[in-house]
């Protein structure tokens, strides 16, 4: 049992490092739509959410995070805490969470009668509801100053088990630090969408520079403007990846785009 607790502490430490790097004290603005119905939600990730995400109960959330963060949680302390039976699946999903936000996610409504073990409002999951994969459950939080969502659960299961069939395609996810006023980083965007039609004007202005960054065609190495290729051009690659993969620009390669009759 002691060996199992020591291994669990190692997994918790690893999950904590990922959480601090990718999510802690960050806000994410999710813009999703289905036809003309657009939904915009903000998700706030804070240290008090970590304990619930990993499936631990029995200690103050902030105290638990500090102990894990400083690597001072003892085996005896962990042994006394109540642990979700799926804690290992939750911890194994942590390295994949960032990817979930970056790879064509969908916004689902939680099915209130699907389970009595967790209460959620929204779920961010894969496009395919029938594939068992990591997903993030969100809880709506309303205060006097704002309305937002907080991460309430990490699951490794089929989205169809806990969501309704109603869903919206996420077209953009913006990211900022909680200390920052405006969003300026684009974590994910659907290249087929004209974001100016769905994002509030003041937010669109704050990310305009990010939208105008030059990317490169992965076939020719030529710079392209993403907004000019929304009709089907998706063969692009970021400048940092051009350099990382040492893609050579070929001056004798020309791309021809023909009209479809």
Q: Is residue 233's pLDDT more than 50?
A: no
Domain definitions of the chain by residue range: 2-209, 213-244
Percent of the chain with pLDDT strictly greater than 70: 79
Sheet with 236-237: strands ordered across = 223-224, 215-217, 236-237
pTM above 0.75, yes or no: yes
In this predicted model, what pLDDT tens digit does every residue of 72-97 receive, in sequence order? 999 999 999 999 999 999 999 999 99
pLDDT of 173 over the 60 cut:
yes
pLDDT greater than 70 at residue 37: yes
pLDDT tens column, 23-32: 999 999 999 9
Predicted local distance difference test score (pLDDT) of residue 141: 83
pLDDT above 90 covers what percent of the chain? 55
- Looking at beta carbons, which pairs linking 121-125 to residues 24 or more positions away fall under 8 Å? 121/149, 122/41, 122/149, 123/159, 123/162, 123/163, 124/30, 124/100, 124/170, 125/100, 125/159, 125/163
User: Which pLDDT score, from 0 to 100, does residue 250 have?
Assistant: 59
The pLDDT of residue 72 is 96
Mean pLDDT to the nearest integer, 145-151:
87
């Amino acid at each position: 049992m002691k060996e199992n607790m020591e291994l669990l502490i190692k997994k918790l430490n690893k999950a904590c490092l990922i959480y601090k790097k990718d999510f802690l004290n960050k806000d994410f603005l999710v813009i999703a739509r289905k036809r003309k119905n657009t939904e915009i939600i903000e998700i706030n990730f804070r240290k008090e959410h970590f304990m619930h995400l990993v499936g631990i109960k029995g200690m103050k959330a902030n105290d638990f995070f500090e102990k894990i963060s400083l690597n001072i949680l003892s085996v005896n302390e962990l042994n006394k805490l109540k642990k979700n039976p799926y804690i290992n699946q939750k911890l194994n999903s942590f390295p994949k969470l960032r990817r979930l936000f970056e790879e064509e996610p969908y916004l689902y409504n939680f099915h209130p009668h699907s389970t009595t073990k967790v209460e959620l409002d929204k779920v961010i999951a894969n496009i395919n509801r029938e594939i068992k994969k990591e997903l993030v459950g969100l809880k709506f939080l309303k205060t006097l100053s704002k309305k937002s969502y907080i991460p309430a659960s990490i699951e490794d299961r089929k989205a169809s088990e806990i969501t309704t069939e109603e869903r919206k395609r996420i077209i953009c996810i913006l990211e900022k630090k909680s200390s920052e006023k405006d969003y300026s980083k684009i974590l994910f965007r659907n290249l087929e969408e004209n974001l100016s039609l769905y994002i509030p004007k003041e937010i669109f202005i704050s990310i305009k520079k990010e939208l105008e960054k030059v990317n490169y065609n992965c076939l020719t190495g030529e710079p392209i403007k993403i907004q000019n290729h929304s009709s089907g051009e998706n063969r692009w690659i970021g400048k940092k990846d051009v350099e990382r993969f040492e893609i050579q620009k070929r001056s004798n390669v020309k791309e021809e785009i023909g009209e479809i009759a």
